[in-house]
Structure 1
Amino acid sequence: MSNNNNVLTLSAPLSGPVLALGNVPDEVFASGAMGDGLAIDPLNDCLHAPCDGVVIHVARTGHALTIRADNGAEVLMHVGIDTVELNGEGFALLVKDGARVSEGQPLVQFDLDRIARQCKSLVSLIILTNSERFELQPIASKTVKVGEALMRIALRTSAPVQTAVDNSVAEVSATVRITHRGGLHARPAALIRKTAQGFSSQSQLHFGDKTAACDSLIGLMGLGIGEGDEVRVTCRGKDGEAALQALVAALSVAIHEEPHAPVVATPRRANTEANVLQGVCAAPGLVCGPLFRLTGIELPQDSGNHSVDEQLQRLDTALEQVRGEIRNTLDQARQRKNVEEEEIFAAHLALLEDPALLDAATATIEQGSAATHAWRDAIQAQCAVLLALRKPLFAERANDLRDLQQRVLRALLGEAWHFELPAGAIVSAHELTPSDLLQLSAQQAAGICMAEGGATSHVAILARGKGLPCLVALGNEVLDVPQGQRVVLDASNGRLELAPSEARHAEVHQTRETQKQRRQQQQAQARQPASTTDGVTVEVAANVASSAEAQVAFDNGADGVGLLRTEFLFVDRRTAPDEQEQRQAYQAVLDAMGDKSVIIRTIDVGGDKQLDYLPLPVEANPVLGLRGIRMAQVRPELLDQQLRALLQVSPLARCRILLPMVSEVDELLQIRQRLDELCVELELTQRPELGVMIEVPAAALMAEQLAKHADFLSIGTNDLSQYTLAMDRDHAGLAARVDALHPALLRLIAQTCAGAAKQGRWVGVCGALASDPLATPVLVGLGVSELSVSPPQIGEIKDRVRHLDAAQCRQLSLELLDLSSAKAVRQACQHHWPLS
């Protein structure tokens, strides 16, 4: 420690890698709400004093203490995240409150392994809690050892903190190649902005002869950086090195984007048919109906006589209203686990907070404009920048700005955008926005066609998700079609037919009617058993996550519940459900299913599915970590409680228990033994069936041995695919290749079925592959006797089974094992068992 001219140098209290505060896995610390500081991921097990001073506070549980240095700076040291949960266990305090300590003196001894096993993270904080009086200057940037210089603390002058660049600090820079699919558009730009905001340094991105601040979303997009372009990042400030490293990482990471080729804004071919507009398919489908033209908000001329304060207040109010609306949309998307919708509106929220956009609107208001016109002009100026880049993806992303223009204008004008769609209307517009599409979908629009837009636009992504036929890039001719004119939208073939004959109308109606009748027929027979033409019965059950979903499954003709995900009871709450609440929830599912059996999977959390009240260590590879049955080894009381609740349902004979993420026989034997002990405790003579999920390759390879001790096996193809192919199914660039019809997966399914058959056990499939009609004959052929599907697909899958010959399926499925790829398997399936 040195204390020269009131500048205090703190030495490292721990050894390990240094982290910027913004990278700490805890919102309160990361946001700086407790003060400025740094973090260390400790490699040693003793906390040392970073300077001379007095201990002014010691946490009751010993995991944190604060020292007041001789210059008045108060330094909080907090070992690990959520370590208060340990209630002092694993911590040995070596000093008392009020004690005078010297730099380097040991303060707290702690159990590193215990914290790693039982708490959220080992990352430990060094926070300057009175940072309004002092400013902090990091010294160490990578890894430190105890006693090495960590940071300087200087008394702030009375003058306000200047945001100007400190030219005494050297500028640091790096060159990086952009790997984001499609370049630096809204979503990756939002990531860069968020990263830059985690540091105090001023960061800029340079491309060609243009420069933008890294905290401006629109500025970043305005650079027109494409995939593969090389850019230079510069940072100047006290944490410049750390900011540079973080920004380089953020610029290099791949981000989720639709795996479609960019669509050029003018892809139309010369019309070879009269009265047909050619466009690009953004979402497939065939519909006919009256055209309804939707127009944007047009503003009258601005009088220019306005109170600046009043107009600024109006804009603030409108912006906050729209932010609230977008947050609600985000929450709903998260509840539905709709990642694409969530990402789109998260980018919109970031745009609404963009300094370049807000500054432009504010400046225009201060020059006398109305809030409405100032907002419109700010958006239009930024759209012009993006459109001038002449890159399709940037032209499409300008549409997100137009969305915000319309939404904020509606809030400013008090318009709720009321309109009545005619029944079965096909909506036309110059270009629709994501929020427009959500509203049109809610109003039961039959289809969408746009003059502009592209197949990778956010509207296209949402339309595909909603199953809403959508054509884009039709040209301005589509806007000249009279309101109410009947048209045929053949999105699958990129055609808008403006003057369809009666015969064509009849054909479209007939095609749709045939599809509808087939669905109705499938639904009518959904309650009947599904047997192949040669008499092999396949049980078609449902995947559900609540008693309400179980009721839907029963109404749709499910032969049972093939998978009840019990996580619905444990998530989005502050404490775990007690035994009584669990028992009632499981009983409600059994009651909803009449006399049919219900397979209930024990809690499958951990890894990427975290519970607030179940702190687990942060894992480098969550999907390879504490998941499924492995959780029972860490928190056995959770599984015990769940098993007790399951054993009290009635009738117990209809309840089957399924264990997730089993990889060896011993795991199954331990749970079976525990189940037997609980049955004795509860004085039960009956034992529920106990099954094992086959979702890791080890389990598939050990299927015969597992089947010796399990009553049934259930294949989770989603996880089995990613673990077999070593591809994260949530990875943007790889998701399309994680295909469960890969020959390697089929070999594991075949081996599982063969192993189970030797022990006289049955095999089900509860992953997404079970719901794919193209895969039905393959699964039947490989020996699967139960398919657990999403409730709406029960009728369709049963119908598919009834048209199969099981013997032929067996013969052809074995041939598929020798094919070279998932694509080849899909082509062969389409050839052998075409989907009508």
Structure 2
Amino acid sequence: MAETSETLLLRAPLSGVLLPLAAVPDPVFAEGLFGDGVAIDPLGDTVVAPCDGVVLHLAATGHALTLQAPCGAQVLLHVGIDTVSLRGQGFAPCVAQGAAVRQGDALIRFDAERVARQARSLVTVMAVANGNAFAVAARTDAAVAESGRTVVLQVRATDAAGAAQAPAPAPQVESTHSADAAPLRRTVTLACAGGLHARPAARARAAMQGLEATVTLHYGGRQASLASLVALLALAADEGAAVELAASGRDAGAALDAVARELQRTDAGEEHAVFPVSAAPAPAAAGGELPPGCIAGVSAAPGIAIGPLHWWRDAAPEPDEAGRGADAERAALQAALAAVDARLVRDSAAASARRAHAEAGIFAMHRALLQDPALLAAAETLIDTGKSAGFAWRDATRAEAAALSAMADRRAADRAADLIDLGKRVLRALARTGGGEGDAPADARVPVAQDGQPVVLAADEFTPSDLSGLDRTRVAALVMVRGGPTAHAAIMARQLGIPCLVALGSALERLPDATPVIADADHARLHASPDQHLLAAAASTITLRAQQHQADLRAAHAPASTRDGVHIEVAANIGSVDDARAAVAQGADAIGLLRTELLFLHGDAAPAAADHTARCQAIADALEGRSAIVRTLDIGGDKDAAWLRLPAEDNPALGLRGVRLAQVCPQLLDDQLRGLLAVRASAPLRILLPMVSEPGELLHWRARIRALAAEIRADAGIEVGVMIEVPAAALLADQLAEHADFFSIGTNDLTQYTLAMDRCQPELAARMDALHPAVLRMIAATCEGAARHGRRVGVCGALAGDALAVPVLLGLGVTELSVDAALVPATKARVRTLAHADCRQRAPELLRLASAAAVRDACRRYWPA
């Protein structure tokens, strides 16, 4: 770029990789709120002047300054992200405010290693601060800049360059119920998020098991038997719809109650109900068109990845049409169905063991589909006409899938992929000999790129069996021609932590194997054959995230103390032995919440005392001397166990949950307490009681624990705490603290009860913010009540892992944060950037703000995260 009298050339203030502002991990810079410019991932430790000028402003902390060029352009230089929180530590300004400097003069020196360890990012921004008068007219195509030499931006006054461009902006359903002279009828309103999709339909059908009754659902002038999931899905009854139930048979009344209860409960297991799906386009080129090689899609799982495209070639075996006789083909089909069912049982158990409960639910739903009488009847009808088992099953599943795909309801259409998946599983089982399981591990069907680089795996549409057992190290991202963010493959991608793009369309189909791509699920874009600039920017983003994670991980096993020396315990929330091992590996100081219901939720029978002892003993042994807080069974509300038949409730979130469950199942909690008292651990094991709302409940259970301890000759001195999740408990915290040894605040439930908003309701998800001042007042009341009796307070809800919320919680008096194991390193790193005295001083004023948004804005100002 040649400089003219009308232009200002800005040279690189640092050596490093050049990035677009959109790649900066801070929305203020990424969205251009400070002006247009460029970012640099630095390879040096000295910021030099990008042009001649005068230092208009120098931050007191030394991390940023603004330079005014002779033409009047004001150039902001900002080293790192969130570096203001370092209070000047690691920065050494080389100039004073008001000083005149020449291009290339040293402005700021910084300790790169120290800043990288303590701040969120080292990425440095250069932006034109007075964009109303000056605009970026051109920028370099280089991927790497040399300090003081590479011209990276060309700036012109707007009267010379013109105004800066604005940024681019059902089928018929057959009734299968048997006639009854006087069926029982009831009209219910569907409360499950998303309406009558697969999971509530499967739950409703499971609720009838063991009952002699038939139930049909009537909606929109059509009806479907509860025995057929496919028929139920085809009704397309949406959330809030009124459906009529008709039951007949000896147990008609009980069946009607059971089905009504399932249809009137919310469906917390469907993760997509609260997952923020982004289909917003990335900034487009001039004219609103996408850049060359850029394909727009829908983000189903966040993240960014680079790799060669590899098409998933996993067609099921092509079956012969002609059969070998009806009896032989029926036997072959039954054997294949049994083999696939056994595999689904193992897949579901494996998912449950790693706490991927939505994934486990998917496989459980597939088992229910596998037993669908309508599918089996359709296949057997074809077998009776002389077709092979494989041909018959394939045609039956394809026909039902086609019917679902044609429906306007997106969630019902997404379930068509589940039917196709079952079709493939059974065809593989039929093709194998010797009674095999019917599925090869997914790892065996994913190649390793020649250079060892993970691939971006592409398909028309993935199914759950495609992803079962997938080796995360071989796959950088998943991309699909079709599919939606509510599909089960998308849910599994999120749980696997794999970036996923769906609905990329025919443009993806035209890309051949080995095409280099960037899968940017954060911006819902796939870049094919990207240029070096895009590759460098994406690689730098990936590297920065990985470096930050590694830096946090290296320090994760050290205690977390604030800058002024206050120790904060950072613990982990777990639900299995594997989770316990992961918590230890991630540096957790302790276990702040063991969700014991997750150990038994998918079992066949209620756990006995010995079962509790065995499971919790194994976890205690895996903790290598760390203490653990064990929450007693929190079943009810949005968590149900197949072995526990609770009475129907109009509002289960307000009903028999937590310790309240003992009102109808006293033996259940007694068995658990006996089991916990028998555990022998090398560090304290503490009992946490959920859904306590008044001191009398706590006193009752403390007495019961003492009695059970005497009965089995165990130590009666075990600590007992109260989970603060009911507003009544927060407001009575001072009375509860007289008898409780500690408090643990469950912010998820406390928020829904305080705000009177169902946390499983997707329409309210954006407003379910635990930083709402009303919720913060509940937390403050809890901490104040605990302090009067010298009790400690922890937070085990999702708020503990929110970086913006950490200083608020510390400021209100919380001394323990319990988060998912993967968040332990970052949470400890966050604690180390804070001054406890500053948190204590500022937090109370947040209680006087009017909204969660106002609290978050204040937190960003006080403690940028």
TM over 0.5: yes
Separation (CA, whole Å) in 1 of partners of 2:729 and 2:825: 31
Superposition pairs of residues 718-757 of structure 1, within 5 angstroms: 718-725=748-755, 739-757=769-787
1:401 aligns with 2:415: no
1:425 aligns with 2:451: no
- For the 8 Å contact 1:574–1:612, the answer to whether it is kept is no
Per-residue deviation, residues 484-525 of structure 1 (Å, max 9, x unmatched): 221100011111111112332222222111111111111222
Aligned to 2:273: 259
* Superposition TM-score, scaled by structure 2 size: 0.65
Moved more, 563-572 or 792-801: 563-572
Separation (CA, whole Å) in 2 of partners of 1:373 and 1:808: 71
Q: 2:403 aligns with which of 380, 385, 404?
A: 385
- For the 8 Å contact 2:733–2:786, the answer to whether it is kept is yes
1:217 aligns with 2:229: yes
Displacement of 1:643: 8.6
- For the 8 Å contact 1:329–1:345, the answer to whether it is kept is yes
Displacement of 1:421: 2.2
Does the C-alpha gap of structure 1 residues 358 and 610 become closer, same or farther in structure 2, counting only changes over 3 Å? closer
Separation (CA, whole Å) in 2 of partners of 1:735 and 1:562: 25
Does the C-alpha gap of structure 1 residues 711 and 445 become closer, same or farther in structure 2, counting only changes over 3 Å? same
Superposition pairs of residues 152-167 of structure 1, within 5 angstroms: none
Please tell me the residue identity of whatever aligns with 1:332. Answer: A
Aligned to 2:385: 367
Superposition pairs of residues 646-661 of structure 1, within 5 angstroms: 655=684, 657-661=686-690
- For the 8 Å contact 1:262–1:454, the answer to whether it is kept is no
Per-residue deviation, residues 371-398 of structure 1 (Å, max 9, x unmatched): 2222222222222222333443333221
Aligned to 1:154: none
Secondary structure of 2:295 counterpart? strand
Separation (CA, whole Å) in 2 of partners of 1:376 and 1:539: 56
Please tell me the residue identity of whatever aligns with 2:493. Answer: A
Per-residue deviation, residues 750-771 of structure 1 (Å, max 9, x unmatched): 1222233344444322333323
Aligned to 1:788: 818
Gaps of 5+ in 1: 1-162
Superposition pairs of residues 274-293 of structure 1, within 5 angstroms: 274-293=292-311
1:701 aligns with 2:719: no
Please tell me the residue identity of whatever aligns with 1:284. Answer: P
Displacement of 1:677: 11
Secondary structure of 2:517 counterpart? strand
Displacement of 1:462: 1.7
Does the C-alpha gap of structure 1 residues 238 and 308 become closer, same or farther in structure 2, counting only changes over 3 Å? same
Secondary structure of 2:299 counterpart? strand
Superposition pairs of residues 425-444 of structure 1, within 5 angstroms: 425-441=455-471, 444=474
- For the 8 Å contact 2:218–2:244, the answer to whether it is kept is yes
Displacement of 1:580: 9.5
1:492 aligns with 2:510: no
- For the 8 Å contact 1:279–1:472, the answer to whether it is kept is yes
Secondary structure of 2:310 counterpart? strand
Aligned to 1:715: 745
1:207 aligns with 2:220: yes
Aligned to 2:109: none
Displacement of 1:483: 0.9
Displacement of 1:644: 6.6
Separation (CA, whole Å) in 2 of partners of 1:233 and 1:610: 22
Separation (CA, whole Å) in 1 of partners of 2:537 and 2:456: 18
**Once the two structures are aligned, what percentage of the paired residues are identical?**
42
Secondary structure of 2:793 counterpart? strand
Superposition pairs of residues 110-509 of structure 1, within 5 angstroms: 169=181, 181-191=193-203, 198=211, 200=213, 203=216, 205=218, 207-208=220-221, 212-227=224-239, 255-256=267-268, 257=270, 258-259=272-273, 272-297=290-315, 302=320, 304=322, 306-414=324-432, 416-417=439-440, 418-422=444-448, 423-441=453-471, 444-509=474-539
Superposition pairs of residues 39-50 of structure 1, within 5 angstroms: none
- For the 8 Å contact 2:597–2:635, the answer to whether it is kept is no
- For the 8 Å contact 1:547–1:588, the answer to whether it is kept is no
Superposition pairs of residues 562-577 of structure 1, within 5 angstroms: 562-563=592-593, 575-577=608-610
Separation (CA, whole Å) in 2 of partners of 1:782 and 1:435: 47
Secondary structure of 2:273 counterpart? coil
Moved more, 615-624 or 765-774: 615-624
Secondary structure of 1:342 counterpart? helix
- For the 8 Å contact 2:773–2:850, the answer to whether it is kept is yes
Displacement of 1:428: 0.6
Please tell me the residue identity of whatever aligns with 2:689. Answer: P
Displacement of 1:799: 0.5
Please tell me the residue identity of whatever aligns with 1:576. Answer: A
- For the 8 Å contact 2:319–2:427, the answer to whether it is kept is no
Superposition pairs of residues 575-594 of structure 1, within 5 angstroms: 575-577=608-610, 588=621, 592-593=624-625
- For the 8 Å contact 1:194–1:215, the answer to whether it is kept is no
How many residues are matched?
A: 662
* Superposition TM-score, scaled by structure 1 size: 0.67
Per-residue deviation, residues 612-667 of structure 1 (Å, max 9, x unmatched): 99x99969558755844996996797698679757x866xxx63745524555566
- For the 8 Å contact 2:261–2:648, the answer to whether it is kept is no
Q: 1:538 aligns with which of 548, 551, 568?
A: 568
Aligned to 1:59: none
Moved more, 375-384 or 813-822: 813-822
Separation (CA, whole Å) in 1 of partners of 2:478 and 2:244: 41
Displacement of 1:319: 1.6
Aligned to 1:89: none
Per-residue deviation, residues 722-777 of structure 1 (Å, max 9, x unmatched): 55455665678877765533322211211222233344444322333323323211
Per-residue deviation, residues 658-715 of structure 1 (Å, max 9, x unmatched): 5524555566678889999999999999977765544443433233344456554433
Separation (CA, whole Å) in 2 of partners of 1:733 and 1:719: 17
Superposition pairs of residues 809-820 of structure 1, within 5 angstroms: 809-820=839-850
Secondary structure of 1:756 counterpart? helix
